[in-house]
Structure 1
Amino acid sequence: MFVVLMYLWPTFYMELVFCKWVFAFLLCCWLIFSVACSVEGLHGDAKVRGVNLGGWLVVEGWIKPSLFDGITNGDMLDGTQVQFKSVTLQKYVSAENGGSANVTVDRDVPSSWETFRLWRVSDSEFQFRTSQGQFLTCDGEGCSVSAVADSPSTKETFYIERNNNNRVHIRLNSRTYLHASIANQLTADYPGTPGWDDNAATFEMTIVANNLHGDYQLANGYGREKAKEILKKHRNSFINVEDFNFLYRHGINTVRIPVGWWIAYDPNPPAPFIGGTLEALDNAFSWAQAYDIKCIIDLHAAPGSQNGMEHSASKDGSTGWPTSPDFISQTLHVIDFLASRYARHPTLLGIELLNEPSAATVPLDILVSYYKKGYQIVRKYSSTAYVIMCQRIGNADPLELYQANIGSVNTVVDLHYYNLFDTFFVNMSSVDNIQFIYKSRESQLQALNSANGPLVFIGNLRGMGE
């Protein structure tokens, strides 16, 4: 059985060096000693004892919230969900049928049709995406706003002016303001400049969700030059050679390093992503070699996003990766880049082909096809590196990957157990969580381990007690 329990994230949140490492180290030790066993490429007792270097080369805002502190209108980042209510009509702006139709101001209670995801152009310019994926659009002064644009450009870009009590005005570049007409339409023909009283051009804006704080939101929120400064400082300080020294002295022999797809295009990745992660990864391999630590490279963020979460660098919470052959081809290129660069490095233990694809949006056949191609790419450069395939998160059985016949040599299935998001665990203490893992998870691990297929890897095991 190949088992690594990866836990660094809760401690990084504290942003305290001592707590960061000591807590992570203890949690790993509690969970791994009884299950880890021989793995090729490790010295000594050949047990994998590892931590995950989360939040370093792939940004996750909950790990280090202060990264986002300097962004103007930081509560209106890409992917933020908003609703608008006319103060005169007391009705919500709505994209009929969720898109591909007119926009009205006639709903008493907001739901999905009345919720728009922001695409941020600047700190005051935004595009509004509907629940079905279209964008609000306006041809110019006097137009009625509709939700029929499949992609945004100038006509789909609006300015938002805010005051201190959540009231906003929405206008075109021409300075013509949108207003809610008595016919319940949203039109660009308000006369003059509105005040903040109860007038037809004033809306109450409700931020429904602002939970995406990833690489896309950081880079696009700050702008390229400021984001380069912020991320350079972060990457140079968040993890350094002394951390590897600390891990070595405390018996950790493996690190898993999440990376984003843009690493293959360093030093000038596509906008808005910021270069520098490749240099940092090279440094990590050098530090690991100096302290006899192995590295697992984990492709955490795929182009288009494989799960809509911030750690996949999703722009707005949507999952485009499985719907685009170009995205999948581009992801395979990234695997080729990483394998060709690091396969012969003595510290490489394995490459994880994709982190946490969503069971709700990534079909199994598409994922298995990708994993098979990714396996062959890694084998082109290495006959021994472990090829790690993450289970789909959500309603999916880990056995589906055991039955897929993806590869025959050093293949591993990565299991992610999230007690944290299951109400069954709400009233459990840390000790209760750990005992549940020891006793109740053990039977499934034993069943998987005897399935005569890939080895078992536990990449996430998060309990409520943390």
Structure 2
Amino acid sequence: MRSHGHSRAYSIKCIIDLHAAPGSQNGMEHSSSRDGTTGWSTSPDSISQTLVVIDFLASRYAKHPALLGIELLNEPSSATVPLDILVSYYKQGYQIVRKYSSTAYVIFCQRIGNTDPFELYQANLGSINTGVPSTSSEWCKWASCFYWEWVNEWNVMSGSQLDYQDFGRAQLEVYGAASFGWAYWTIKNDRKHWDFEWNIQNNYLQLGKIVASPTIHREKYNKFLNLKRLAFCF
């Protein structure tokens, strides 16, 4: 994988995220749904195919020095993916990754929508190097780590450049404390405040002025900018 080669060259670790499952896990266009329907959780064949993909990814990249972890599924919908189905899938996925690696993080994404953020807390999904993309430090009581995924945007119509600078600075000061670091969504996007490159080049986000976690380094951005990747994480 080219990105793994780049990551090794620039000392950046990779998380492999299964973003689209057969039948779609949330009905969104980035999860393989063409018409908004969600059929992953109701099809045993689709779930089995997804586990085969996890097996392929884990077997191929488990020993790669750039691999940090594998996220088993991106943003399953609480409206269409029952908790028991998701827990069963996560437990099987965890065992598959552990078959090939005892150290790679296995990341469990919470369901999106109107749901209890702690619903996976007592599910006993796995005990070694587990992680969750989260907005709650309470997850640290169960998961080995948590990390923050964020964007320099919020629902305002008249925010000034200074407002965005202050907003980005406040987020980085908090997210820099995450035990797993943080990830910005994303390096290139048609929504300008979701676009990390645009925010830096137009001085809406000022990494060089942040005094926080040692994981935040402007030079990492400068190196990675040359790669023109679609997404990245520190």
Query: Shorter-chain TM-score: what band?
Result: 0.5 to 0.7
Match of 1:437 in 2: 171
Q: Does 1:345 align with 2:64?
A: yes
Question: What CA distance in whole angstroms lies between the structure 1 residues aligned with 2:158 and 2:77?
Answer: 27
- Equivalent residue letter for 1:415: S
Q: Does 1:313 align with 2:32?
A: yes
Which SS does the other structure have where 1:301 is aligned? Answer: coil
- From 118, 131, 149, the equivalent of 1:399 is 118
Match of 1:355 in 2: 74
Match of 2:54 in 1: 335
Shift of 1:297: 0.8
Contact 1:307 1:361 in 2 (8 A): yes
Which SS does the other structure have where 1:308 is aligned? Answer: coil
Alignment CA distance shift 1:457-1:336 (3 Å) = farther
Question: What CA distance in whole angstroms lies between the structure 2 residues aligned with 1:333 and 1:413?
Answer: 22
**Which structure has the bigger radius of gyration?**
1
Q: Does 1:284 align with 2:6?
A: no
Question: What CA distance in whole angstroms lies between the structure 2 residues aligned with 1:435 and 1:427?
Answer: 18
Q: Deviations over 1:196-254 (max 9, x none)?
A: xxxxxxxxxxxxxxxxxxxxxxxxxxxxxxxxxxxxxxxxxxxxxxxxxxxxxxxxxxx
Alignment CA distance shift 1:331-1:457 (3 Å) = farther
- Equivalent residue letter for 2:25: Q
Q: Deviations over 1:367-405 (max 9, x none)?
A: 121111111100000000011111222223332233322
- Equivalent residue letter for 1:296: I
- Equivalent residue letter for 1:437: Q
Question: What CA distance in whole angstroms lies between the structure 2 residues aligned with 1:418 and 1:399?
Answer: 20
Match of 1:276 in 2: none
Contact 1:415 1:456 in 2 (8 A): no
Which SS does the other structure have where 1:390 is aligned? Answer: coil
Match of 2:20 in 1: 301
Which SS does the other structure have where 2:115 is aligned? Answer: coil
Contact 1:415 1:457 in 2 (8 A): no
Contact 2:71 2:107 in 1 (8 A): yes
5 Å-filtered alignment, 1:248-287, equals 282-287=1-6
- Equivalent residue letter for 2:53: V
5 Å-filtered alignment, 1:85-104, equals none
Match of 1:66 in 2: none
Contact 2:152 2:164 in 1 (8 A): no
Question: What CA distance in whole angstroms lies between the structure 2 residues aligned with 1:465 and 1:288?
Answer: 25
Structure 1: gaps of 5 or more residues: 1-281, 450-454
Give TM-score scaled by structure 2 length.
0.63
5 Å-filtered alignment, 1:65-214, equals none
Match of 1:266 in 2: none
> What fraction of aligned residue pairs are identical, expressed as a percent?
62
**Structure whose residues are more often strand by fraction:** 1
Give TM-score scaled by structure 1 length.
0.33
Alignment CA distance shift 1:386-1:418 (3 Å) = closer
- Equivalent residue letter for 2:68: L
Question: What CA distance in whole angstroms lies between the structure 2 residues aligned with 1:465 and 1:434?
Answer: 14
Q: Does 1:385 align with 2:119?
A: no
How many positions carry a matched residue from both structures? 173
Which SS does the other structure have where 2:38 is aligned? Answer: coil
Alignment CA distance shift 1:344-1:353 (3 Å) = same
Question: What CA distance in whole angstroms lies between the structure 2 residues aligned with 1:362 and 1:323?
Answer: 8
Question: What CA distance in whole angstroms lies between the structure 1 residues aligned with 2:119 and 2:4?
Answer: 33
Q: Deviations over 1:171-198 (max 9, x none)?
A: xxxxxxxxxxxxxxxxxxxxxxxxxxxx
Contact 1:350 1:388 in 2 (8 A): yes
Contact 1:415 1:460 in 2 (8 A): no
Q: Deviations over 1:59-117 (max 9, x none)?
A: xxxxxxxxxxxxxxxxxxxxxxxxxxxxxxxxxxxxxxxxxxxxxxxxxxxxxxxxxxx
Q: Deviations over 1:121-178 (max 9, x none)?
A: xxxxxxxxxxxxxxxxxxxxxxxxxxxxxxxxxxxxxxxxxxxxxxxxxxxxxxxxxx
Q: Deviations over 1:408-448 (max 9, x none)?
A: 1110001377788974x555531353366368x77xx99xx
- Equivalent residue letter for 2:165: V
Question: What CA distance in whole angstroms lies between the structure 2 residues aligned with 1:298 and 1:400?
Answer: 21
